[in-house]
Amino acid sequence: MNCLAFLLAAQSPPSNFPLWGLALIVLVFLGAILALIGWGYGKIWVQAYFSRANVTLLSLIGMSFRRVNKQIVVTGKIMSMQSGIGTELETGVTTQRLEAHYLSGGDVLRVIKAIIAAHRADIDLDFDRAAAIDLAGRDVLDAVQTSVYPKVIDCPDPKRSGRATLSAIAKNGVELKVRARVTVRTNLEQLIGGATEETIIARVGEGIITAIGAAETHFDVMEKPDKISKAVLDRGLDAQTAFAIVSIDIADIDVGQNIGARLQADQAEADMRVARAKAEERRAMALAREQEMKAQVARNRANVVLAEAEVPIAMAAAFRKGTLLTANGPQ
């Protein structure tokens, strides 16, 4: 019992312990917490505060618990506010939405840069559309830059198809090898769900081949290559794609083989072989007929010989019967 009383007396604070000591301990504890918060969040909060980014200290602490990169979110918020693209109500670029986009796997800084570039170029692009384009796997910043500075696509693209030219044949049978360059601008309204560059290349290639195939001679195409460009543009090949075709330029035209003449030569060779086969068939039939006639002649000769052999027999029989007639009368 004495030992237990001694332990209880040792654990309980002395009755004469001053209250200011407890307050000092609490203040030291709170100061340590504030020092840790200031060490981890003070610098970035001060940066956001003086940049009018409207990011609270509690939001920064919550980002750490949500495993959000606070530096990226704050930097994006500062960029949006300092670029003058509008307030949070106008653009929808709030701290919560930036965090949500980051947690969704999006690139926050590229989205903000795309919105700023679109604002500078007087292109209508809000945060919702930019975030949707980014989450769809498209490079939203490159899309905005392509809207401002059109992009040139080779048709055909040697990197994709391994071919440097398109091969088309005019009505006179002459092959033309064509290389075109397509200038496109990104259509932000159809960027989500719109066809990509491969579709543009395929459609333009089909249009060029069709236009050359409709030409009477290859001279018409080589004389006025712009006819091909106009014919292809009139077909509206950029429908349902993520791009708007600005122009189609024929970069190079080379004359290939005379496919028509080669086909005609091949056809003539085939017709000659057919004629030879038919002539050989007729010759074989004539030889067979000749052999048949020779056999018929031999058969007729045999019949004559048989008939001649029966004459003496008939004369002998008539002589025996006394019916043989002579020039002086019956024998």
Quickly state the pLDDT bin for 31 (edges 50, 70, 90). low
Across the chain, mean pLDDT equals 79
Return d(Cα 35, Cα 168) in angstroms, integer.
76
Return d(Cα 163, Cα 166) in angstroms, integer.
8
- Choose one of 101, 120, 147: the last residue of a domain: 147
φ and ψ at residue 82, rounded to 5 degrees: -75, -20
Same domain, yes or no: 133 and 197: no
The residue with greater pLDDT, 46 or 183, is 183
- Choose one of 206, 236, 261: the last residue of a domain: 261
Residue 319 CB-half CA count within 13 A? 6
How many structural domains comprise the chain? Answer: 2
Handedness of CA 15, 19, 25, 30 (dihedral sign): positive
**Is a pLDDT exceeding 50 seen at residue 73?**
yes
Same domain, yes or no: 66 and 28: yes
Same domain, yes or no: 123 and 99: yes
Same domain, yes or no: 251 and 238: yes
* 317 found inside a domain: no
| 243-258 and 166-169 strand pairing | unpaired
- Choose one of 147, 167, 186: the last residue of a domain: 147
φ and ψ at residue 322, rounded to 5 degrees: 75, 25
Q: How many CB atoms are located within 10 Å of the residue 42 CB?
A: 15
Q: With beta carbons less than 8 A apart as the criterion, state whether 52 and 83 touch.
A: no
* 289 found inside a domain: no
Segment 137-157 mean pLDDT:
86
239 to 47, 98, 192, 235, 321: CA distances (angstroms): 47, 33, 14, 9, 116
Same domain, yes or no: 112 and 34: yes
**Is a pLDDT exceeding 60 seen at residue 313?**
yes
**Is a pLDDT exceeding 70 seen at residue 83?**
yes
pLDDT digits (tens, 9 = 90+) for 89-142: 666 688 888 888 989 899 999 999 998 888 888 888 888 888 888 898 888 888
pLDDT digits (tens, 9 = 90+) for 232-285: 888 888 788 888 888 888 888 888 787 777 777 778 888 888 888 888 888 889
Return d(Cα 70, Cα 68) in angstroms, integer.
6
* Cα–Cα nearest to 178, from 162, 189, 186, 167: 167
CATH of the domain at 203: 3.30.479.30
Q: In the prediction, which pLDDT does 8 show?
A: 41
